[in-house]
Amino acid sequence: MMATPSLSAPGFALSYGFYDSGPGFGDLTNQDQAYAYLTPPVFNWMGQLVTANPAAADQPFSSFCLPGAHDAGTFDLTCVRNLLANSNAASALLSILGSAAFGVVVKLAASQALTAITNLAVTQKDNVISMLNMGCRYFDFRPGYLPPQIRPFDGGIYHEHTVIPGYPFASFLNDVLNWLAANPSEIVVVSANNQGFYDPSMTPDEATLAGILSSAQQSTQSKIAIGDAGDLSSTYGTLIAANKRLIFLNQISNWMQAAKYDSYNDDSYATTQPGNIIAALSAMTAAGQSGSNYTVLQLQGTATSTGAAVVTSCALSQSNASSPLMSTKAFFDSATYPWLLANVNKNLLKNQLVVFLNDFVDNALAQTASAITLQRMGLSA
């Protein structure tokens, strides 16, 4: 899985993946799966949309739909590797995993644990630059400290998936700021949140997070202005002219907070069946959007919540392509992407920002978001 990077090159964009099923476990299929999306380049899809439809520049940014990366920092397991290389840290990490719904992992040797953690916790296989080049414009990033039991081994702030540390928050911000400087027609939104944190002490305070952002701006010599929920009503053209192209819509530490209307609930999303996801999306209404700054439609499921058989099989498998999320990726996309095209414009407000959140960022979702944005603006054919 981690050796199938998306490609952005002159003339095309390609994202793809492969699932090694084994005999099938729990609700998972016993047939190998593969997907591939080949499109024209999407790294500057916002700029392309406005160039082809100049009236779009005068529309509020809240009219846009954005492809988003769910658990955006899980692609990097450098910190996990470092912890597993230290016998004391490895023992502590595996013990925490054993108490955080991944019980079987505690029985593994450190040398086997990396594959198990990859299969159970990684939701993105591309790095930040690749995700941006695949058209991603919204990042669900969860900056936090390591759980207290292993924090003595590393006091940094990483994307935290329950207890698994991913990409450093500072590196993420540096990547986004540098990419925005090179792509002046694009706007990126970040939701910093602490959803699913194992322990409340993992949440940094506002001053710490703001300080990391300030340091990233200084280290990249960024001239990108920072926006918040109050800027969503500004037009795309106004934001571009002001170079206000990094907008934070957070749910953490009172830092640039925004109210989110989200399709996710534990019951609907604990599934390997796209019908459950479609039902959750269908339940989202214009009336429900009232009082929120933006809306998130989550397109991925949580296969590991469907039963111990899935968790056990994926943890014990030493195949590098046996993530249950890779099993459901194309199966879900083939149902949810057409649903979005047919229903978002008629079901939801046209003047509230909508995010399409998914695992394994791909270029087809960027094309879908662009098409629906035009629908909402009344500019599509």
Read off the pLDDT of residues 183-221 as tens digits, 9 standing for 90 and up.
Answer: 999 999 999 999 999 999 999 999 999 999 999 999 999
Picking from 247, 224, 241, 226, the residue whose alpha carbon sits closest to that of residue 178 is: 224
Long-range own/partner contacts, residues 263-266 (CB < 8 A, 24 or more apart): 263/296, 263/297, 263/298, 264/296, 264/298, 266/305
Contact by Cβ (8 Å): 343, 300: no
Closest CA relative to residue 298, chosen from 359, 237, 379: 359
Give residue 112's pLDDT band: very low, low, confident or very high (50, 70, 90): confident
Element holding 12 (H helix, E strand)? strand 12-19
> Looking at 89-98, 271-280, 372-381, which range is the least confident one?
89-98
- Structure confidence at residue 23 (pLDDT): 85
Indicate the pairing of strand 12-19 with strand 294-298: unpaired
Percent of the chain scoring above 90 in pLDDT: 81
CA 231 to chain centre: 22
Nearest Cα neighbor of 201 from 163, 153, 166 is: 163
**Contact residues for 268 (Cβ-Cβ < 8 A; gap 6+):** 276, 277, 279, 280
Percent helix, strand and coil across the chain, each to the nearest 5:
45, 20, 35
3-class DSSP state of 38 = strand
Quote the pLDDT of residue 381.
Answer: 58
Please give the structure tokens belonging to residue 349.
């407000």
Residue 126: phi, psi to the nearest 5?
-100, 150
* Residue range 312-333, pLDDT digits in tens: 777 677 788 989 899 899 899 9
Task: Kindly list the domain boundaries of the chain, sorted by start residue.
Answer: 7-377
Residue 295 clears pLDDT 90, i.e. is over it: yes
Look at residue 28 and tell me whether its pLDDT is greater than 80. yes
Q: Which residue has the tokens 């080949």?
A: 38
8 Å CB contact between 8 and 43 = yes
Residue 317 has a pLDDT of: 77
Where helices occur in the chain by DSSP H, the ranges are: 45-52, 78-85, 87-99, 110-121, 128-133, 169-182, 206-219, 236-241, 266-269, 274-282, 308-316, 324-347, 363-377
Non-local CB neighbours of 288 within 8 Å, separated by 6+ positions: 261
Annotation: CATH topology of 7-377: TIM Barrel (3.20.20)
pTM, full prediction: 0.96
Give Cα separations from 92 to 9, 86, 98, 102, 151 (angstroms): 43, 10, 10, 14, 10
